[in-house]
Structure 1
C-alpha cells in the first residue's frame, strides 16, 4: 500500500491495455495518466525542477515560468504548490479550459497568448513572451522544456526501462512527438540497449518538427510550430504523420469501447494502427507498444464535443456511427 507525503511521489507505471479488441490487431498501450498531474508530463516536470534546485538556479524566492500547451503546466503547477514555489504558465488559446482551470486551482498564474507569431505560430509567440518575462524580472526561472536535456533524460530513466522489462520481445515502439522529450528519451535508451527495437515517431500533420509545412493545428499536445532543439533524428527509424481528423476519430473509437483518452493518445494510436496495417498486415507475432500521455477528461469540451469537432473539421469529420455514439454518451 503506497503512502505518500507529496503528490509527485505517486505514479502508476505498469498499466497496459491490449487494443486488439478495438483495432483488430495487437497493440499494447502504456497508460501514463494515472498520477496526480494526470499525465506523463509529471516525469520531466519533476526532473527539471529537481535539477534546477540542485544547480542552485531555483531558490525559495524564484518564480518558475514555462511555456506549455497544458499538461506540463498542470504538472509544474502541482509540483510548485507542493514545494512552495510560485509558477507562471504561458499558454495559448488552444489550451483546454479544464487544463487552465486546473493550473489556476493549484495556484498558478496563467498567461494566454491569443495571436500566433507570423512564422513560428503560437509556440513562437509563447516563447517570445517567456523571454520577455525573464528579461523583466530576474526572479523568473525558465526551465525551458524545449532545450532542457532533463526533459528527455526523465524518460530515459523512467519511461523506457519499464517498457523493456514488460516486453522483452518488443519489436516496435511508437512514440508521439511534442517537445520530443518522451520520444528522445525512449529512442536513445532503446538504440543504446535494444537496437533491434524499431522506434517510430508519430506526429501531427501541420507540425514542422520533421520538416513538414506548417498548418493550423487545434489539438494541443503533439506537434510543434518550431523544430524542437532536443530532437536528434538519428535515433528514429521512421516518422508517421496523422491528420487531426484521424486523431478525433480514433479518440471516439476508443471511447466507444470505454477507454476515454486524450488527443495525443488518439494521434499515436491512429499512427500506430496505420503503420501496423501497412507493414504488418497478416503477419502474426509482432509485439508493438505505444504510449498514452494522458486521459480524456480534459478534452470533453473539444475532441469529445460533436459541435466543436464539426465546427473545426466539418460535418464529415465524424462518421454517423461516431456521432450516434457520442450522442448516446
Structure 2
C-alpha cells in the first residue's frame, strides 16, 4: 500500500506494454502517463522546481512562469498547487482544450498566445510573452524547460536507470524529441555507463530540432520550431521523422486494442515500429518511452471530424478497425516515403 501527501510523490515506474500483437513487432512501451499529472513531464517539472528551491531562485512569494504546449503546464500546475505557488502557463492554440481546463482546475493561469512565426511555429511568440511577464514582475521565475539542465537530469536520475534495471540487455531505445530532456538524460546515462544501447530519437515532420524544413504541426508535444538548447547530437545514433498522419493512425490502431495513448506516444510508436520493420530481425530488445495517455486528445486525434478536416478522410483508414484487418500494414505511403532516417555516430 502507498500513502502519499503530495501528488508528485506517486509515479508508476515499471509498467510496460508489448505492442507486438498490434503491430507485429516486439516493442515494449514504458508507460509514463500513470501519475496525477498524466505524463512524463511530471519528472522534469518536479526536478526543475526542486532545483530552483535548492538554489534559492524560488521563494514563497514567487510566481512560476513557463511556456508549454500542454503536459508540462499540467505538471507544473499540480506541483504549484501542492506547494502554494502561483503558476502562469503560456501556451498557444494547439494546446488541447482538456489540457487548458485541467490547468485552470488546478489553479493555474493560462495565457493563450496567437502570434505565429513565419515557419509555422508559435514558440517565439510564447517566449516573448514569458519574457514580458518576467520583466513586468520581479516575482516571476521562468524555469525554462528548453534550457534548464534539471530537465535532462530528471531522466538521468529516474527514467534511464528504471529502464536499465528492467532490461540489462537492452539493444535499442526510442524516445520522442521535444525539448530533448528525456532524450538527453537517458542517452547520457547509458553513454556514461558504456552500455551499448542504440539511441533513436523520434521527431515529428515539420520540426526543425534536427534540421530540415519547418512545416505545419497541429499535434502538441513533440517537435520544435528551433534547435533545442539541451540537444547534443553526439549522443544520438539515429533520428526518425514521422508524419502526423502516421501519428494519428498509430494512436487509433492502439485504441482499437484498448490502449488509449496520447499524440506523443503515437509518434514514438509509429517511428519505432517503422525502424524495427526495416532492420529485418526480430531478436532485438527494443524499448520506447511512451510519454502520455490519450484522454486529452479525444477532441483532436480521436475526433473524426478534426482528423478529416486537417488530414483527409484516408487518415481514418486504420488497420484493426474492422474484423479480419488486424494483419494489414498501416495505411499510408510506403515507409521510406513517410519517415526519414539519418545516421549519427557512423557519419
Q: Deviations over 1:22-43 (max 9, x none)?
A: 1111000000000000000000
In structure 1, what is the Cα distance between the partners aligned to 2:48 and 2:120? 25
What pairs with 1:1-329 in structure 2 (closer than 5 Å)?
Answer: 1-119=1-119, 121-279=121-279, 281=280, 283-319=281-317
Please state how far the C-alpha of 1:194 moved relative to its aligned partner. Answer: 3.8
Separation (CA, whole Å) in 2 of partners of 1:89 and 1:322: 38
CA distance in 2, matches of 1:300, 1:175: 23
Judge conservation of contact 1:207–1:224 (CA < 8 Å) in 2: yes
Secondary structure (helix, strand or coil) at the match of 1:45 reads helix
After TM superposition, give the deviation of residue 290 of structure 1 in Å: 0.1
What is the CA–CA distance in structure 2 between the aligned matches of 1:254 and 1:54, rounded to whole Å?
41
Contact 2:174 2:289 survives alignment (8 Å)? yes
Partners of 1:120 and 1:226 within 8 A in 2: no
CA contact (8 A) 2:240 2:271 kept: yes
Question: Equivalents in 2 of 1:320, 1:18: separation in Å?
Answer: 19
1:249–1:322 CA contact under 8 A, matched in 2: no
Judge which range, 71-80 or 124-133, deviates more: 124-133
Q: Structure 1: any 5+ residue segments left out of the alignment? A: none
Determine the C-alpha separation between the residues in 1 that align with 2:311 and 2:119. 23
Q: 1:34 to 1:122 in 2, by over 3 A?
A: same
Deviations 1:50-83 (A, max 9, x none): 1101111100111000000000000000000000
In the alignment, structure 2 segments of 5+ residues that lack a partner are 324-347
RMSD over aligned CA atoms reads 1.3
TM-score with structure 1 setting the length:
0.96
Matched-pair contact (CA < 8 Å) for 2:69–2:91: yes
User: 3-state SS of the aligned residue for 1:208?
Assistant: coil
**Matched residues in 1 for 2:189 and 2:318: separation?**
43
For the 8 Å contact 2:119–2:215, the answer to whether it is kept is no
TM-score computed with the length of structure 2 as normaliser: 0.91
**C-alpha distance in structure 2 between counterparts of 1:225 and 1:50, whole Å:** 28
